[in-house]
Chains A and B, each alone.
Chain A
C-alpha cells in the first residue's frame, strides 16, 4: 500500500495546474469556504480563546492517551460495544471482514470515514465479495467514478454541477440528465434509501470518542451517518487511536470549533452520540456495535514530543481550505489519503519521509495553515522538522524513513552555501562578482532555469548595500 520509490509531488501538481476547470472549481470553493469561516468568527478574542481551549483539551487528551483509551474500552464494553484493536490497516480490514462474515453480511452502507479510506477498505471488501457502498453524497459521487476524495470534508469538491449531472445520467439507472441540484440530490436519495433499507451492516467513522461514558460522536449534515449507524442490524465504527477525549464536556468546544472551521457552520445538522447497541426495550438501532481502533503509525508519531502535535488534528479541513498550494492543485495531486497541509505532515510520517521528500518541500511555508488550525498545530514548523528528518538520521529520532532522502548534491550545495556565508571575505568576493557579472549568468543554468519558467532572470544591483555603506564610511564598526 505504501510507495516504495519517491513520489514526486511536483509532477502531479504540475499536471493538475494545467487543468483550468479543476483550478476554477477549487478556487471558487475555497474562496467561499474562507469567507464562510471568517463570518463565523466575528470576534478575534473569542476565536483565540476557543482555539486555546481546544488546543488545551486535545493536548491534555494526548498526554493521558493510554489511560483514556483503556477507560474508553472498559466503558464501551460495559455499554455493549465490542472493541477491537488493529496495529495496521491490513489487520483492521481483516477484523472488519471477520465481523461481517460472522453475521453473514453481504452489503455494507458507509457513512463518511477517512480512516476507512486510509485502510482502502472498500477495495478490500469488494475483493472479498462484499458490497461496500458510500452513502455520503460526496463520497457516493466519487465512488461512482472510482475516484478517491479530493478533500477530507468535501470529497467531491473537485467536480462541478455539470460534471456530476453527466455522471448521474450515465451511471444511475433510469436517471435523466439534469443540472438542477435538488433533482440530482433527489436521485441520490432514491438510490441510497433503498440501500439503507436493504443493507446488512453499516460502517461509520468517529469524530470524537468519549472515555468517561464510552460514547462515539458523529458529526454530519446529511443524515446518512445516522442511517448507516441506526438502520442496519450491525454497526461497525472505525477510528484512529488519537480520537479519544475524557468527557462529553470536552467535546462541546471541539465540536463548536470543528464545524465553524470546516464549513463555516455554527453547528452541523446532526450531532449523533452513540453509547451502545439497541438497548433494553428499544425498538430500533443495531443489535450489535463493533469498534475498531487503528494505530497505523500513530503510536510512532505519538512517541515524538514535537511531532505528537500532529495527532491533535480534528480533521476540519481548514488548513487545506486556506492553503495556496492546495487551492491550486486540488486534493488528488497529493497522491495520498490526506491531502493539503495536514496530509503534508501526516503522510510522510506514516509512509516515510524519504519517499515523500518532495511532498514535504511542496510548501512555501507561508503559515496560512497554522494560522487557521483550530487546535494550533504548528504545521510549518513540523514541515521544517520533517525536511530535517528526510535528510538526516539524527540520534534519538524514530521518524519513519529518516535520512533516506539525503543526496550528495544537496549535501554539497548546503556545505558550499555555509562555507561562503560564514566567511565575510568570501561573501564579499562572491557579492562583488554577482553585482558585476550576475547579468551574464545564463537563464538556462540549473535552478535559474526553474526560476525563469514564469519570471525574468533576477539581476543583482550594480553595487551591494554593504559596498555602499563601506563607501559611506564612518558608520561601520
Chain B
C-alpha cells in the first residue's frame, strides 16, 4: 500500500463490547498500539443505534447516532471491534440520515469507519508473530461483517499469520448464528434453534476455541454453549490475537 499509514485513530468500543467484552476492546486497542498507531478513545460513547434502526424507530436511532458522530470530529479513521456496528455506521448511517440537515457530515464520518481486522489487514498491513502454544481454532463469520461491510477474509488472513494456530473449517460458516439483535428475544424459538445448530456445528470441528468479530454472536453462541454445558467458547478475535502476539 503506497499511502502513508495513519499514525492516529479513534476507537469506538460499541455497547456490547463495553458492557460484556471489555477485554476484547482493550485487546483491539493494544493491537493497534502494537502496530504503532496512537489510539484515541473518546469519552461519552454509548451505542451505534442499530437496534432502534432495525426496528423502524429511526428518530430514536438518529438521536443516539448523532451523539456518536459528534464524538469523532477529527479526520481520523474510526475503528470498531464489531462487524455489525461498523456496518451500521458505515453503510446504514448514510441511509438513516438521508435528507437530514447533517447528512453530509454523517457521510464524511461513515467514510472513515473500519472494522478492526479490516483496518489491521487492509490499511496497516500488520505482520503478527505467534508466541503461543499449538492450538486448533475455528472461525464464525459475522453476517454483517461479510454482507454489509464486505469483509473478504481479513480475519482468516490474520489467523493464518499465526504459525501455531490451525484453522478448522466450520460447516455452514456463513450461516447466521441466530442472534439478530431484537430477533433473539422477539422470535426466541427460531433464534434458539439457529443458535443450537451453530453451537453443534462449532463443536463438531474439534476446535478448542471459536473466533468471531462480533459481540452479538459472542453473547449468543456462548450463552448457548454454556446452556448445553459444552466446554467450548467463542472468543473475540482481537482478544485471541493479542494474547498470542504480545510478549508478557
A joins B in a complex: yes
Q: Which residues 362-377 of A have a CB within 8 angstroms of B? A: 362-368, 370-371
B20 touches A458 (CB 8 A): yes
Whole-angstrom distance between the Cβ of B59 and the nearest chain A Cβ: 8
Contact call B189/A391, Cβ cutoff below 8 A: no
Pairwise interchain contact B43-A476, C-beta atoms closer than 8 A = yes
Q: Are A418 and B26 closer than 8 Å at their CB atoms?
A: no
Residues of A within 8 A of B51 (CB): 417
Residues A418 and B52 in contact in the complex (CB < 8 Å), given A10-B186, A371-B147, A431-B18: yes
Q: Given A361-B187, A417-B51, check contact A367 B18 (CB 8 Å).
A: no
Bound-state CA distance A477–B178 (Å) is: 37
Decide if B186 touches A361 in the complex (CB within 8 Å): yes
Chain A residue nearest in CB terms to B72: A477
Among residues of A, the one whose C-beta sits closest to the C-beta of B81 is A465
- Interface contact B189-A465, CB-CB below 8 Å: no
Chain B residue nearest to A361 (CB atoms) is B186
Please tell me if the beta carbons of B44 and A453 are within 8 angstroms of each other in the complex.
Answer: no
In Å, the complex CA distance between A41 and B180 comes to 29
Which residue of B29, B57, B143 contacts A414 across the interface (Cβ within 8 Å)?
Answer: B57
- Please tell me if the beta carbons of A453 and B188 are within 8 angstroms of each other in the complex: yes
In the assembled complex, the Cα of A447 lies from the Cα of B182 at a distance in Å of 9
Interchain nearest-CB distance for A380 vs B (Å): 8
Q: Evaluate contact between B42 and A456: CB separation under 8 angstroms.
A: no
**Does residue A463 face the partner (Cβ distance < 8 Å to B)?**
yes
Can you name the residue of chain B whose Cβ is closest to the Cβ of A333? B190
Query: Which residue of A13, A388, A410, A459 is within 8 Å of B187 (Cβ)?
Result: A13
Q: Are B226 and A387 in contact (CB under 8 A)?
A: no
Indicate if the CB atoms of A17 and B55 lie closer than 8 Å: no
A422 and B46: CB pair below 8 A?
yes
Determine if B111 is an interface residue (Cβ-Cβ < 8 Å): no
Q: Which of B118-126, B193-201, B202-210 contacts A (4 or more CB under 8 A)?
A: B193-201
Main secondary structure on chain B at its contact with chain A? Answer: helix
Bound together, the chains give a CA A381 to CA B227 distance in angstroms of 33
Stretch at the interface among B128-136, B161-169, B216-224: B216-224
Size of the chain B interface, CB-CB below 8 angstroms: 72
Contacting B19 at CB < 8 Å: which of A325, A385, A388, A460?
Answer: A460
Are B223 and A465 in touch, CB under 8 angstroms?
A: no
A11 and chain B: residue at smallest CB distance:
B189
Contacts of B42 in A (CB 8 A): 476-477
Contacts of A329 in B (CB 8 A): 190
Taking the closest CB of chain B, its distance from the CB of A358, in whole angstroms, is 8
Contacts of B58 in A (CB 8 A): 388
B156 CB within 8 Å of chain A: no
Of the candidates B20, B63, B227, the one whose C-beta lies within 8 Å of that of A418 is B63
User: Which residues from A are CB-within-8-Å of B19?
Assistant: 431, 434-435, 438, 460-461, 464
Q: Evaluate whether A324 and B13 lie within 8 angstroms (CB atoms) in the complex, with A10-B187, A371-B147, A451-B184 already known.
A: no
Instruction: Please indicate the chain A residues that have their CB under 8 angstroms from the CB of B23 in the complex.
Output: 461
B81-123 near A? 1/0 per residue, CB < 8 Å: 0000000000000010000000000000000000000000000
Is B240 an interface position by the 8 A CB rule?
no
Judge if A187 is at the interface, Cβ distance under 8 Å: no
Within residues 12 to 39 of chain B, which ones have a CB less than 8 A from any CB in chain A? 13, 15, 17-23, 25-26, 29, 39
Residue contact A364 to B186, C-beta cutoff 8 Å:
no
A299 within 8 A of B: no
Q: Which residues of chain A are within 8 angstroms of B147 by Cβ–Cβ distance?
A: 366-368, 370-371
| Complex contact A13–B189 (CB within 8 A) | yes
Contact B22–A468 (Cβ < 8 Å):
yes
List residues of chain B with CB within 8 A of the CB of A410. Answer: 55
- Kindly report which residue of chain B lies nearest to residue A426, judged by CB atoms: B46
Q: Contacts of B182 on A, CB cut-off 8 Å? A: 361
B-chain residues with CB within 8 Å of residue A454 when the two chains form the complex: 188, 191-193, 195-196, 223-224, 227
Q: How far is the CB of B94 from chain A (nearest CB, A)?
A: 12
> Is A17 in contact with B176, judged by CB distance below 8 angstroms?
no
The answer to whether B46 and A424 have CB atoms under 8 Å apart is yes
B5 on the A face (CB < 8 A): no
Say yes or no for A270: interface residue by CB 8 A criterion.
no
Separation of A464 and B21 alpha carbons in the complex (Å)? 8
B174 interface contact, C-beta 8 A: yes
User: Smallest CB–CB gap between A450 and chain B, Å?
Assistant: 4
With contacts A328-B194, A454-B227, A476-B41 taken as known, whether A427 is within 8 angstroms of B57 at the C-beta atoms is no
Q: A414-444 interface mask toward B, CB cutoff 8 Å, 1 = contact, 0 = none? A: 1101101110100100010011001000000
The complex places the Cα of A427 from the Cα of B54 at a distance, in Å, of: 21
| List of A residues within 8 angstroms of B41 by Cβ | 466, 469, 475-477
Q: Given the complex of chains A and B, what is the CA–CA distance between A457 and B224 in angstroms?
A: 10
Cross-chain contact A324 with B178 (CB below 8 angstroms): yes
Complexed CA–CA distance, A451 and B187 (Å): 10
Residue picked from A421, A450, A453, most chain B C-beta under 10 Å = A421
Report Cα–Cα, A466/B181, bound state, in Å.
Answer: 22
A106: interface (CB < 8 Å): no
Distance between Cα atoms of A368 and B146 in the complex (Å): 10
How far in angstroms is the closest Cβ of chain A from B3? Answer: 25
Tell yes or no: A389 within 8 A of B by CB: yes
Give 7 new A-B contacts, CB below 8 A, not counting A328-B193, A381-B95, A384-B53.
A13-B190, A324-B175, A328-B194, A365-B180, A367-B147, A455-B192, A458-B223
10 pairs across A/B with beta carbons < 8 Å? A10-B189, A325-B190, A386-B56, A418-B59, A418-B63, A434-B19, A450-B185, A454-B195, A475-B40, A477-B71
Query: Top 4 closest A-B pairs, CB basis?
Result: A364-B180, A455-B223, A388-B56, A454-B192
Taking Cβ atoms with an 8 Å cutoff, the residues of B that contact A are 13, 15, 17-23, 25-26, 29, 39-47, 49, 51-61, 63-64, 66-67, 71, 95, 143-144, 147-148, 174-176, 178-197, 219-220, 223-224, 226-227
